[in-house]
Amino acid sequence: MGSGPAPHRKVILLKPRGFCAGVVRAIDAVRIALDLYGSPIYVRKEIVHNRHVVDELRAAGAIFVEELDEVPEGARVIFSAHGVSPAVREEAVARRLDVIDATCPLVTKVHVEAVRFAKLGYTIVLIGHRDHDEVAGTLGEAPDSTVLISSAAEVDRLAPPDPERVAYLTQTTLSLDETREIVARLRERFPAIVGPPAQDICYATENRQVAVKAAASLCDALIVVGSQNSSNSKRLVEVCRNYGVPAYLVDDAGQVNPQWLDEAKTVAVTAGASAPEYLVRQLVEYLRSKGFTELEEVELKEEDVRFTLPPQLQAAAELEASRTA
């Protein structure tokens, strides 16, 4: 007796997914610096939070360090997309380092806001995760004026010197829904609170979360390509699980547990903002080998954001291009 036809299984490939403009800029900064100047190029912290990207750049000649005291005096160093505090910039000057600043412009925007609010005498409530590189940099802009919180419950413990002069800022890679809840609680406690002119959560974080929400009712499981230290990737998993749909974060297809697929007829796939597209393609091929032979790409919003190279590289790249023209 035959087993009958194989069950109909499908992959929904979400778009937008993967690299955002800030990640493209940061990775390009390392690659172009290596092309222009050769190795060694030092990079403080992971240039972006993705293991595969970091390993590839390391193989190309980049040297990743945790702190600047690991960089020889006078050497060339790149600051990661997550930004740094003024203290780190001062140390770079003291060590006569040739700095290429690959901080995402959207993170720089938050830093500028922190400085502005501090100068105006506000207590700044920074919504974010304490162990994240981006938060460390933002906190450093106005450490005496800034309080970090990560949940609505923590709002009730805030005791600013002047409740009429409170401002809030956020990490750029947070959950939209969770942040909205925290801000609402802040407004309840501090009706005069002010925030940034435009939200700090970046366009790519928002777009990927909106896509996951749209797919949650269409799939039996979601697989997110991204590293465990990628905040925006972890938020995608949380967003999906909040809809009652199983969701999993993997560095690559090799981390997929086949049991996740046992009861699934439709699996949605997306990628965090620092995950390269070839890892998504490998995952899709793996799913195909497991019987998910139908592929549908669902695009929720077109992204056309581009950032220019860090000015330190822009001029050098243009000069090199004129020489070889």
Question: Which positions are catalytic?
Answer: 134
Are 275 and 50 within 8 A, CB to CB? yes
Q: What is the 3-state secondary structure (H, E, C) of 13-45?
A: EEECCCCCHHHHHHHHHHHHHHHHHCCCEEEEC
Residue 54 buriedness (CB in 10 A; 0-12 / 13-18 / 19+): buried
User: Of 120, 44, 116, which is closest to residue 87 (Cα–Cα)?
Assistant: 44
Residues 6+ apart with CB under 8 A from 264: 9, 219, 220, 221
